[in-house]
Structure 1
Amino acid sequence: MLTKEEVLDILPQKPPFRFVDRLVELEETRAVGEYTFRRDEVFYAGHFPGDPITPGVILLEAMCQTGLVALGIHLLGLEVPRSEVEKTVTLFTESEVEFQRVVRPGETVRVTAERLLWRRGKLRSSVALTLDDGTPVAQGVVAGMGVRRELP
């Protein structure tokens, strides 16, 4: 079984496109991750000048990085050795998400994901995105599939 730190190490997304600072929980049916949006994130310069908010697609990416990629790495790590997990990348396949609130620079979000389906490398998760104080931001269902990648 991989530790939370090993899962973060294997996560293929790297800064500036990693939106998981820490994994708070990682179990067979659940993952919880947190990320603090830095005030100097490059996308704030254009979204929107003078009144920056985090783009919805970035919030969706944060939900997927915890609810699909990290949870998928953990689940695959229960089945195969780390060397095989490292040869797999999770590709996004679908989502249905509703947004309720904007996220501002400097705010910390928490992604809580519950596994709905895990079969033959396909993962579907129910995800909820909240601020660190519990204020709801978005919720829905995301899905992805692990595929073997060619490493350089």
Structure 2
Amino acid sequence: MPSVEAGAAGPLTALTPITLQFAQKAFIVSGGRLLLVRKSASDPFHPRRWEVPGGRLEVEADLDLDDHIRREVWEEVGLKVDPGPPFHLWQWFMPDRGGPPGGQVRVVAAARRCRPVTLDATLGNQDAGDHLDGCAWVPLGEIGGYDLIPSLRPVMRAFLATAG
């Protein structure tokens, strides 16, 4: 490969710009049921599909990773949780709507088991960007009947394999 002088355009500058973000998802179980949330019809990526609560880290606002997952769960479903350890890491790509044309966001995510401190889930705290219109406590044996967002499917398999 030919060398590139410092400051000169190199072969990587032609690649699509990628922004890296970090997310966490909360697997909250109570009484043999997992809390799922449903994306609304207005969700730009996965309308009407199901997932678990969580979201991307706000670097300036979240004090630490436990604070981050607590905030996300509170905003999306109004529950207080006790965060547990991560059990799975994965990634997905999505268009960068606020970045350069053709840019992408690479989201690296951690799935965490969380113990609920409260149980009355509500969507009243979410902001419009969450695009949620429902939540349900689903028996673990019935999760296979829910249309999950594609990137969550292998994570759900890993969770269910160890949930018994």
> TM (normalized to structure 2)?
0.25
Q: Relative contact order, CA 8 A, sep 6+: which one is greater?
A: 2
**Which one has the largest radius of gyration?**
2
